[in-house]
Amino acid sequence: MAAKFGRRKEGNAVVVADSSGVRFACAEPASGARPLIARYGEIPAGESKEELAAALKSLGVAGAKNGMTLLAPQEYQFVAVDAPEVPEAELKSALKWRLKDIIGYPIEEAVFDFLSIPSPAPGGGRARSILSAVARSDLLRRRVADFDHARFRLAVIDVPETAQRNIAALFEEEGRGTASLYFDETGGLLTISCRGELYHARRFDISSAAIAEASGLAREDLFNRILLEMQRTIDNFERQFSSVALTRILVGPERDDSGLADFLRSNLAVSVASLALEDVVDFAPGALPARETQWRLFHLFGCALRGAPGSQ
């Protein structure tokens, strides 16, 4: 089963199960201008399929027909390649042979899906590019089987890059580019989007724990590393996509305020703001998530918002 990038209009139920437990988020079709997160939460649970089934039953999401889940960064590769010069109907077949030399295992053992990056400005001299998510087919089969056993029918297996894009799209100004920078236990993820389309995604080998545990000069060194990589990325993006004005960088959510947003704001020419989901998303009455919950469930919220107005 592939990571699917198409739009969905129905409500979504997202579940992620790993060694830390089971986390979920449920979105309902928006009745107003803002999308609605109806329920979310997490409970400790083991990793066996029996424990997963029991957890989903207790959370009230067993039986969901429009189920979704997210792959962890170590479970897939997200790569940008030049688009093969073939008719659109032959693109996926041709892309298969571009990926075979990148992924490090036989392409016959892989499942992939892709989205096209909007073309650079005319005359830019660069070929059209494609972003592709690639994972081992046996991993996806096991994931689907585990959720089937729990009576949770997977309609979509998604990746954090597109989940993060879904949230950034809700903050976009018309025709302007928006970058989103987020750190968790696995590292950092930067995405750049415009008009709801994902243009760029890259990872940082700096985790949220590394930032939290550093202090004084050590934290300043980390922040300077992030700043340098941000500056390089922005410069490269502006050269490649000169028709897109990148006007905003969103940082977070964070478990605790690290000061990173303030640091970047003082050192970058682009506007920088801390990301707060309540600025663009409605939650059920009395269910506004605390800072740490927004941080822990950030990509689940983004995945659940797939198909919401303004997102993909």
**pLDDT tens, position by position, 122-137:** 555 556 789 999 999 9
pLDDT score, position 124: 52
Query: Number of folded domains in the chain?
Result: 2
**251 and 208 share one domain:** yes
The closest of 188, 186, 144, 145 to 164, measured between CA atoms, is: 188
Q: Would you tell me how many other CB atoms lie within 10 Å of the CB of residue 24? A: 27
Q: Which domain holds residue 235?
A: 169-276
**104 and 175 share one domain:** no
**pLDDT tens, position by position, 58-76:** 998 888 778 999 999 999 9
What is the residue-averaged pLDDT of the chain? 90
**pLDDT tens, position by position, 43-61:** 998 878 899 999 999 998 8
pLDDT score, position 52: 93
**195 and 258 share one domain:** yes
Question: Is there a domain that residue 109 lies in?
Answer: yes
CATH number at residue 125: 3.30.1490.300
Distance CA 222, CA 243 (A): 32
**pLDDT tens, position by position, 157-206:** 999 999 999 999 999 998 899 999 999 999 999 999 999 999 999 999 99
**112 and 204 share one domain:** no
Confidence of residue 235 (pLDDT cuts 50, 70, 90): very high
**173 and 251 share one domain:** yes
**193 and 263 share one domain:** yes
**pLDDT tens, position by position, 204-223:** 999 999 999 999 999 999 99
pTM for this structure? 0.91
**200 and 244 share one domain:** yes
| Structural contact between residues 299 and 164, judged by C-beta atoms closer than 8 angstroms | yes
CATH number at residue 197: 3.30.420.40
SS (H, E, C) 43-65: ECCCCCHHHHHHHHHHHCCCCCC
Computed over its alpha carbons, how large is the radius of gyration of the chain? Answer: 19
Q: Would you tell me how many other CB atoms lie within 10 Å of the CB of residue 239? A: 11
**pLDDT tens, position by position, 86-112:** 888 888 888 888 898 899 899 999 999
**133 and 173 share one domain:** no
Question: Is there a domain that residue 281 lies in?
Answer: no
Question: Is there a domain that residue 179 lies in?
Answer: yes
Going across the sheet that includes 110-116, the strands are: 77-82, 129-136, 110-116
Q: What is the mean pLDDT of residues 227-239?
A: 95
The closest of 43, 12, 49 to 142, measured between CA atoms, is: 49
**119 and 190 share one domain:** no
Question: Is there a domain that residue 268 lies in?
Answer: yes
pLDDT score, position 5: 37
Question: Is there a domain that residue 232 lies in?
Answer: yes
**200 and 267 share one domain:** yes
**272 and 224 share one domain:** yes
- Residue of 223 and 286 predicted with greater confidence: 223
Question: Is there a domain that residue 88 lies in?
Answer: yes
**CA of 146: how far to CAs of 14, 19, 64, 270, in Å?**
14, 15, 14, 44
User: Percent of the chain scored above 90 by pLDDT?
Assistant: 71
**263 and 177 share one domain:** yes
Question: Is there a domain that residue 114 lies in?
Answer: yes
Question: Is there a domain that residue 185 lies in?
Answer: yes
Q: What is the DSSP letter of 119?
A: P
pLDDT score, position 123: 53
